[in-house]
Chain A
């Protein structure tokens, strides 16, 4: 299972990546939204975890790109507090789940596993 992790905060990126690797996932990392879209285009991604606010392209733009490309990849959005409107927009565009920062990395892993189980 390949998880694309798009997050511009170095600590969050490293922590989630290690957690996912520990759980047996293969992880592809990116620190900006535009690169995330390119990686999605290349294919081979089974699940995406993306921050909403990122340089060059936001999480919302990643969702739009997924829709445009016709890829049905489950995506978990990470949002900051007070971004409720953006979260609603994200759900409208097809986000599968979201977590508000500060978040529990353990809970994120549970949600990842749940989404993967639903896919099977």
Chain B
């Protein structure tokens, strides 16, 4: 049974589409106008805030801070308060010393702490993360319980910021609050910034590091190895060495780096002994490590690798290490004798050119 579309229905359909297009255009225009307004406001806001920050830094901590009437007028607007908070945090990354204390003063004067707490209660992860960031940067230690509760938040943006805040505000003690049962990965960036915030390891921290080295989370082990390297905790040498047989190659790589950093007189001999059983990436790390550590005693071992290592990449690392440990003459002689082997010659020239 065929149903024909009437002319009336066609016109109605066209009108409906036109109305939808019209509404879409209106929505785009409203959105663009709003964005333009925010952008143009931000230019004004930046000028006002920069001037206030500059004035406070230049006057120094002895001079009482006066509220800027322009800023006060805008403070009623949530977008302005958030922008202000953002700029203040950005400024904290630019200055040091008494200038930072001055920024803390501005934070308190305009009750941006209150704004940070408001954002912390928001249900938008990016706002919560920003609030944690602000409270951390401005060293609001009273916010620790609220920040601590965010460690179990389901959104990575929030719990990562909370983890960093714990370490920045509480040091090693803060780290202990979440690293024990950690199940999720810790990104390289997160590891680096937490490591940067750690300034000392308390005596009781040694036992905790021992536990973390046994963690089932490879990121925890990796971070722990970085801590051992940073603080040169040579007492962990044997435990770290035992991790060389870990099933994860990334851990093995970290182990080699750590062993080379806290090495004893037996370390290199042990690494050379284990060399044949280790994965390729780890072997590369050892070959590079001999060069970095300028282990001249192992020149013969490296020369053998230069000749016999199955992959060219390994031979390149061997050649570079030989150069680093002062075997330039050996490489030059080898390059003169290697006219037939083009790949070998390229490797030797590559290593030699680094110094020529």
Contacts and interface: CB of A to CB of B under 8 A. Distances in A.
Interface of A: 9-12, 14-15, 18-19, 22, 101-107
Contacts of A14: 50-51, 54
Interface stretch (B24-32, B91-99, B273-281): B91-99
Nearest to B50: A11
B53 A102 contact: no
10 contacts: A14-B54, A15-B99, A18-B55, A101-B93, A101-B94, A102-B92, A103-B95, A104-B95, A106-B98, A107-B97
Contacts, number: 50
Contacts of B325: none
A14 B54 CA distance: 7
Which of B53, B57, B92, B93 counts the most chain A CB atoms within 10 A? Answer: B57
A102 B196 CA distance: 14
Which of A12, A103, A105 counts the most chain B CB atoms within 10 A? Answer: A105
A3 to B, nearest CB: 15
A19 B102 CA distance: 14
Contacts of B57: 15, 19, 105
A12 B94 CA distance: 8
What are the 8 tightest A-B residue pairs by CB atom distance, in nearest-first order? Answer: A104-B97, A102-B96, A18-B58, A15-B54, A14-B54, A104-B96, A11-B50, A15-B57
Interface in B78-111: 91-100
A19 B50 contact: no
A106 B97 CA distance: 8
B95 A102 contact: yes
B94 A11 contact: yes
Contacts of A18: 54-55, 58
Interface of B: 46, 50-51, 53-55, 57-58, 60, 91-100
B44 to A, nearest CB: 14
B118 to A, nearest CB: 25
A9 B94 contact: yes
A11 B97 contact: no
B91 to A, nearest CB: 6
A104 B99 contact: yes
Contacts of B55: 18
A85 B153 CA distance: 40
Contacts of B95: 15, 102-105
A103 B93 CA distance: 9
Given A11-B54, A103-B95, A103-B96, 4 more contacts: A102-B92, A102-B94, A105-B57, A105-B97
A101 B58 CA distance: 17
B58 A22 contact: yes
B312 to A, nearest CB: 28
Nearest to A10: B50
A74 B2 CA distance: 91
A10 B98 CA distance: 20
B48 to A, nearest CB: 12
Nearest to A21: B58
A105 B50 contact: no
A82 to B, nearest CB: 11
B53 A11 contact: yes
Contact of A104 (B50, B53, B58, B98): B98
Nearest to A78: B94
Contacts of A107: 97
Which of A9, A15, A101 counts the most chain B CB atoms within 10 A? Answer: A15
A11 B58 contact: no
A106 B53 CA distance: 15
A101 B97 CA distance: 11
Contacts of B99: 15, 104-106
Contacts of A104: 95-99
A101 B100 CA distance: 12
Contact of B58 (A9, A10, A15, A103): A15
Nearest to A102: B96
A10 B93 CA distance: 14
Nearest to B60: A106
A100 B159 CA distance: 30
Nearest to B97: A104
A15 B97 CA distance: 14
